[in-house]
Amino acid sequence: MARMKFICDAERCIECNGCVTACKNDNEVPWGVNRRRVVTINDGVIGAEKSISVACMHCADAPCMAVCPVDCFYRTDEGVVLHDKDTCIGCAYCSYACPFGAPQFPSTGTFGLRGKMDKCTFCSGGPEANGSVAEFEKYGRNRLAEGKLPLCAEMCSTKALIGGDGDVIADIFRARVVKRQTAGKNAGADVFGWTTAYGQPDKAGAKAAPTGGKI
């Protein structure tokens, strides 16, 4: 069975926000909620600016599931982390636990009213019947049940964002990295990985990478 995942290729993302727009439009996401967003680092620095599209990563060991006090999350056989809005109380514990900032809360009322949590569903709806109106109104489209992949990935113009079976998309990304490395360019983790966050090991002030030895 497929284990659904997203990968964003930082070398290809051009910060067009097409994925964000496609997600908002197709799922009719409420005002103030962005299930997907594009994050840019080193903005304006020539040669160093990188963008990446971020949403729920459908973690194998999801922290949102672990902290939810009403246990509204569940994982499908395809590895997609979904939640039940009928159970959610909008406490936002998941928002604090998530390292990607995926859980979003609509704020449509007065006095900072916080509604039920909303997040990327990997275009696979929720507990309601597949493709039903009830499912669409609460969670958006169920493209997986239509035999399709998430719209953000399928419409990405540069194919920076790829989504689907983890093994397959990892192979697609690996092929790109190998091709770039063969051409003598930086690729893979050299572009957007450990060194992006912690610096190059040979530069002053860089933190030492863990050696993986025994503790």
If binding is defined by CB under 8 A, does position 181 make contact with another protein? Answer: no
Residue 5 or 44: the one with the smaller Cβ distance to another protein is 5
If binding is defined by CB under 8 A, does position 3 make contact with another protein? Answer: no
CB pairs under 8 A, 24+ apart, for 129-136? 136/28
If binding is defined by CB under 8 A, does position 127 make contact with another protein? Answer: yes
- Shortest spacing between CB 82 and another protein, in angstroms: 7
If binding is defined by CB under 8 A, does position 126 make contact with another protein? Answer: yes
Best CA proximity match to 104, nearest among 135, 83, 74: 83
Helix (H) or strand (E) holding 28: none
Rule CB under 8 A: choose which of 85, 142, 152, 187 binds another protein.
Answer: 142
Please give the full DSSP string across 11-25, using - where no structure is assigned: TT-----HHHHHHHH
Cα separation, 102 vs 104, in Å, equals 6
Hey, which residues between 46 and 75 contact another protein (CB under 8 A)?
Answer: 65-66, 71, 73-75
Rule CB under 8 A: choose which of 84, 100, 188, 190 binds another protein.
Answer: 84
If binding is defined by CB under 8 A, does position 107 make contact with another protein? Answer: no
- Look up tokens 């020539």; give the residue: 46
Alpha helices in the chain (DSSP H): 18-27, 63-67, 93-97, 133-139, 151-154, 166-182, 194-198
Interacting residue ranges for another protein, rule: CB under 8 A? 1-2, 65-66, 71, 73-78, 82, 84, 124, 126-127, 129-132, 142, 144-149, 153-154, 159, 162-165, 168-169, 172, 175-176, 179
